[in-house]
Amino acid sequence: MKIKQFIIPFFIILFGFTSCTEKTTVAKKDLSSTDKTKSDAKMESFLDSLTKIMTLEEKIGQLTLMSTDWEKTGPTINENYKNLIKEGKVGNIFNAYSVKFTRELQQLAVENTRLKIPLLFGYDVIHGHRTIFPISLGESASWDLKAIENSARIAATEASAEGIHWTFAPMVDISRDARWGRSSEGAGEDVYLGSEIAKARVRGFQGDDLFATNTILACAKHYAAYGAPIAGRDYNTVDMSERELRTTYLPPFKATVDAGVSTFMTAFNDVNGVPASGNKYLLTDILREEWGFEGFVVTDYTSINELVPHGVAKDNKQAAEIALNAGVDMDMQGGAYMDYLKELIADGKVTEQQVTTAARKILALKYKLGLFSDPYRYCDETREKELLMTPEHLEAARDMARKSAVLLKNNNQTLPLSKDKKVALIGPLANDKYNIIGSWTAAGDRYTKPVTVLEGFKEKISNPANLLFTQGCEINSDNTSDFQNAINIAKKADVVVMVMGESEGMSGEAASRTNLDLPGNQKELLKAIKKLGKPIVLVLMNGRPLTLEWENENMDAILEAWFPGTMGGYAIADLIFGDANPSGKLTMTFPRNVGQIPIYYNVKNTGRPYELKGPEQRYRSRYLDVSNSPLYPFGYGLSYTTFKYANFAVDKKTYAFKETINISVTVTNTGTFKGEEIVQLYMRDMVASVTLPLKELKRFEKVMLKPNESKKITFTLTSDDLAFYTKDMSFKAEAGEFKLFVGTNSEALIETNFTLK
Ligand code: BGC
């Protein structure tokens, strides 16, 4: 009897496998729509057969994701994960990579479970897998959508060659609060730029064919509003208006749905009193019903269980009930679904149909990846040998690091340096392999592979005797024992380059800070060197905006390099010695002090705006002790050359709704270096039914110009781009006067105007 029961379902599965193999030959991007419908129908019938024969326990297994003990990315580890795989209780695994290990675990599932359903392997492939690119905030400063897409593409190629099917990226949380350590993982403060980058990353990870063995599932995280915790403290409460949520924090998530993202991850925080991991409004009403998302939703690490300390569930069982009813498909690490869904069905709190629906979404993506046709198709030693850290990948990482760096200051053209100068290279990050690749570095090697600034400089400086190096101080300590060595070599040099900043662990998850000065005694060392009167170039590595007022006053040049990745040292040397010209622009505002935070460019005017001139300044929206302006605004970044903007115009003065608004401006390279400019277009709606920002980024374009070269840049907008949440919360444009601004950053702008009728 037992045997009979087994043979029938197994036959159906085999039949399913066969149809899936057939699909593999046609599941390419040139599928005609009829072929697509046919292959979708095949998948649906496969899933019908499969879910029909699955037991409830087997379905719950598909809803469960567990970490291995290879890496710890959260508070708990379940040492028993291998047995749970064999028992079919865990259908998905994260923190496992390499062909050997993923094959070993896949075998446990395929050879021990009744239906041989393959595991799905997820991992935090955030800014590279083996070849580490600059941290995501750094990449965003390139404003280079093609390069960002390519970086994600390379990460996917390497990760999939090591058995991974799914990345927990992109993180698309808007962040306007530099205290929040996870600012480093996103694309900064702006909605438009953040949404464009979110789409580029999804395209890069997923490509246009999930079945291809070099593409992986992307995951938009952390849904939602995780970037706005009160006081910038990680995991803290989020309380914001519906208008703000929809205007600022949700659009990048919606953008990923439009780009076809396969999965979503819930956030740890609550949103207006309801934890995101049990939030039906976010997960079902908006995500599924409004946006039409069809993939699956995974929680963040144990965030179902965290509904208990949040105080909305009395125990893990009730937490599981809330999560499933809210629309969570997969439980990461907490085991609440594994432990309680069966009981909850028996108690009538949730239905088996809900479990089946969730399991089906997960199985569908396993099918699309081709895992049912061959569970080991991502476990190929040859690909693993050939595709990791290739020269092409390393070159792309170097290029991305050059594009990400932002030149914050360059007095008297201190930079670029001549290769014949005598250089004192000082600082805790000048020869540091461990920190240069930043946090969330997947399988990246921190010990041997990264290229330090010292190594980069050695390749550039003509006479090796002209390069002097000492560390000078540590990142975060009061040890001054190397200060004197630093002073001594600085005295001998023509120019001093100081490489300073944060350690990798000072930004990223659970790394909020209330003091954003250079940590430890780094500033003290800078002050000691400053006394020598030599030109000083400060190179910064950090994961968020820092407070740099003193440095801005006292350094001759400042280059913000973020954590630039495996090839960081070469890229920095390329920029410092003029083999490349900095072109990055800030995607997060740099405050003057922590008291200004949250600070961002697209502020509203208020009823009492601060004006620099005018008789009455006291009763204005301002501070008594610091100006309203930031140290470095959004969109800011210098070049070794200069650019002039002229002939900014619209083709008409009045436009009808839906009519194309043609905008043009001429940009000229007025300096002596070839350079790339990021031309930024902003807009202001002058009078509307609700208060709106003084400017909002609407378009941008990167343009490379030789000295004296001019280019006409054109942009188009329609009334759709002018839409906002009106007084009654409908999303549309209102007729009236508009201003447009264009320029090199969010403050240095020229303007024109038009009317929408
Ligand atoms: C983080 C996520 C990450 C997950 C898995 C969590 O702690 O918040 O961003 O994807 O761990 O490592």
Q: Are strands 120-123 and 331-332 parallel, antiparallel or unpaired?
A: unpaired
pLDDT at 23: 37
Summarize pLDDT for 112-171 with one digit per residue, the tens.
Answer: 999 999 999 999 999 999 999 999 999 999 999 999 999 999 999 999 999 999 999 999
- Residues 179 and 231: beta-carbon distance below 8 Å: yes
Query: From the CA of 433, how far away is ligand 1's center (Å)?
Result: 24
Q: Are the C-beta atoms of residues 641 and 709 closer than 8 Å to each other?
A: no
Segment 38-95, tens digit of pLDDT: 888 999 999 999 999 999 999 999 999 999 999 888 988 889 999 999 999 999 999 9
Which protein residue has the closest C-alpha to ligand 1 atom 8? Answer: 300
pTM of the model: 0.96
Euclidean distance between CA atoms 527 and 549, whole angstroms: 13
Tell me how far CA of residue 700 lies from CA of 130, 172, 193, 582, 714, in angstroms: 31, 19, 9, 17, 10
Ligand 1 lined by 168 (C-beta under 6 Å): yes
Q: Does the beta carbon of 185 sit less than 6 angstroms from any atom of ligand 1? A: no
Give yes or no for residue 483 CB within 6 A of ligand 1. Answer: no
CA of 211 to the centre of ligand 1 (A): 25
Residue 653 has pLDDT above 90, yes or no: yes
Catalytic-labelled residue, pool 300, 329, 399, 432: 300
pLDDT of 77: 84
What are the beta bridge partners of residue 752? 740
* CB neighbour list of residue 446: distance below 8 Å, 6 or more residues apart: 433, 434, 437
Q: What is the mean pLDDT of residues 186-200?
A: 98
Neighbours of 13 (CB within 10 A): 20
Return the structure tokens found at 356: 């089946």
Distance 73 CA to ligand 1 centre (A): 6
What's the distance, CA 422 to chain centroid? 39
Spatial separation of the C-alpha atoms in residues 340 and 696, rounded to whole Å: 47
pLDDT band at 25 (very low <50, low <70, confident <90, very high): very low
Nearest atom in ligand 1 to the alpha carbon of residue 221 is 9
Q: Does residue 162 have its Cβ closer than 6 Å to ligand 1?
A: no
First to last CA, the chain: 76
Whether pLDDT at 335 is above 60: yes
At residue 184, φ and ψ (nearest 5 deg) are -60, -25
Question: Ligand 1 pocket check: which of 124, 183, 263 to mutate, most ligand atoms within 8 Å of Cβ?
Answer: 124
Which atom from ligand 1 is nearest to the alpha carbon of 169? 10
C-beta 530 within 6 A of ligand 1: no
Quote the longest CA-to-CA distance of the chain.
94
Distance CA 113, CA 164 (A): 21
- Count CA atoms closer than 13 A to 712's CA, side-chain side: 8
Q: Hey, how many other C-beta atoms are within 10 angstroms of the C-beta on 658? A: 9
Q: Which residue's alpha carbon is nearest to atom 12 within ligand 1?
A: 73
The CA 124 to ligand 1 mean position distance, Å, reads 7
Q: Which of 66, 68, 70, 73 to mutate to test the pocket of ligand 1 (most atoms within 8 A of CB)?
A: 73
What would the 3-class secondary structure string for 88-115 be? CCCCEEECCCCHHHHHHHHHHHHHHCCC
Closest residue by Cα to atom 6, ligand 1, is 301
Name the phi and psi angles at 267, rounded to 5.
Answer: -100, 165
Is the distance from the beta carbon of residue 509 to the nearest atom of ligand 1 less than 6 Å?
Answer: yes
The verdict on the CB of residue 301 being under 6 Å from ligand 1 is: yes
Instruction: Tell whether the model's pLDDT for residue 17 goes beyond 70.
Output: no
CB 236 within 8 A of CB 229: yes
300: Cβ below 6 Å to ligand 1?
yes
Q: Could you say which of 3.40.50.1700, 3.40.50.2300, 3.40.50.460, 3.40.630.30 is the CATH number of the domain covering 398-596? A: 3.40.50.1700
Under the banding of pLDDT at 50, 70 and 90, the label for residue 36 is confident
Angle at 505 (CA atoms; ends 504, 509), nearest 5 degrees:
115
Q: How far is the CA of 121 from the centre of ligand 1 (A)?
A: 14
Residue nearest to atom 10 of ligand 1 (CA): 168
pLDDT of residue 8: 35
* Exposure string for 82-108, b = 16+ CB within 10 A, e = fewer: bebbeebbbbbbbbbbbbebbbebbbb
| pLDDT band at residue 31 using 50, 70 and 90 as cut-offs | low
Task: Return the pLDDT at 26.
Answer: 34
Residue 221 CA to ligand 1 center (angstroms) comes to: 9
Strand 675-685 to strand 696-705: parallel, antiparallel, or no bridges (unpaired)?
antiparallel
The pLDDT of residue 396: 98
Region 656-672: mean pLDDT is 98
Pairing of strands 643-650, 661-669: antiparallel
Residue 301 CA to ligand 1 center (angstroms) comes to: 6
CATH superfamily assigned to domain 3-384: Glycoside hydrolase, family 3, N-terminal domain (3.20.20.300)
Distance CA 518, CA 498 (A): 12
Beta-bridge partner residues of 122: 94, 166
Q: How many CB atoms lie within 10 A of CB 659?
A: 14
Bin 310: left if φ > 0, else alpha if -120 < ψ < 50, else beta: alpha
Q: Is the pLDDT of residue 243 over 90?
A: yes
Question: Which pLDDT does position 169 carry in this prediction?
Answer: 98
Whole-number percent of the chain with pLDDT over 90: 92
Q: Which helix (H) or strand (E) holds 219?
A: strand 219-223
What is the model's pLDDT at position 29?
Answer: 44
Distance between Cα 263 and ligand 1 center (Å): 14
Q: How many CB atoms lie within 10 A of CB 14?
A: 10
Q: What percent of the chain has pLDDT over 70?
A: 96
For 414, counting Cβ atoms within 10 Å of its Cβ (0-12 exposed, 13-18 middle, 19+ buried), the class is middle
Strand partners, 167: 123
Q: Relative to the CA of 74, which ligand 1 atom is closest?
A: 7
| Reduced 3-state DSSP string for 642-708 | CEEEEEEEECCCEECCCCCEEEEEEEEECCCCCEEEEEEEEEEECCCCCCCECCEEEEEEEEEECCC
The response to whether residue 173 sits with its C-beta less than 6 Å from ligand 1 reads no
Phi, psi of 104 (to 5 degrees): -60, -45
**Residue 221 Cβ contacting ligand 1 at under 6 Å:** yes
DSSP-assigned letters across all residues of 610-642 = --SSSS--TTSSS-SSS-SS-SB-TT--B-SS-
For the chain, the structural domain boundaries read 3-384, 398-596, 643-756
Pairing of strands 406-410, 557-560: antiparallel
| Residue 271 predicted with pLDDT over 50 | yes
Residue 111 pLDDT > 70: yes
How many A from CA of 545 to the centre of ligand 1? 22
Structure-token pair, residue 751: 């303007």
Ligand 1 geometric centre to CA of 514 (Å): 23
User: For ligand 1, is residue 74 a contact (CB within 6 Å)?
Assistant: yes
Contact 394, 130 (CB under 8 A): no
Ligand 1 neighbour 70 (Cβ under 6 A): no
Tell whether ligand 1 has an atom less than 6 A from the beta carbon of residue 166.
Answer: no
Sign of CA dihedral 237, 243, 248, 252: positive
Nearest CA to ligand 1 atom 2: 300
Distance (Å, whole) CA 534 – CA 556: 9
Q: What mean pLDDT value characterizes the chain?
A: 95
The Cα angle at residue 261 between residues 150 and 383, in degrees rounded to 5: 50
Contact at 8 Å (CB) between 531 and 554? no
The alpha carbon of 219 and the centre of ligand 1 are apart by a number of angstroms equal to 11
pLDDT over 80 (residue 1): no
Beta strands at 661-669 and 120-123: parallel, antiparallel or unpaired: unpaired
User: Among this protein's residues, is 300 annotated catalytic?
Assistant: yes
- Ligand 1 in reach of 433 Cβ (< 6 A): no
The pair of structure tokens assigned to 368 is 């699309």
Per-residue confidence band for 493, with pLDDT thresholds at 50, 70 and 90: very high
**Class of CATH domain 643-756:** mainly beta
What is the average pLDDT across 470-499?
98
505 lines ligand 1 (CB under 6 A): no
Q: How far is the CA of 104 from the CAs of 71, 72, 366, 722, in angstroms?
A: 17, 20, 18, 54
Q: Which whole number is the average pLDDT over 557-585?
A: 98
Q: Which of 308-312, 319-323, 606-610, 741-745 has the lowest mean pLDDT?
A: 606-610
The arithmetic mean of pLDDT across residues 395-402, rounded, is 98
Ligand 1 center to residue 229 CA distance, Å?
Answer: 16
Mutate to test the pocket of ligand 1, among 168, 180, 184, 222 (most ligand atoms within 8 A of CB): 168
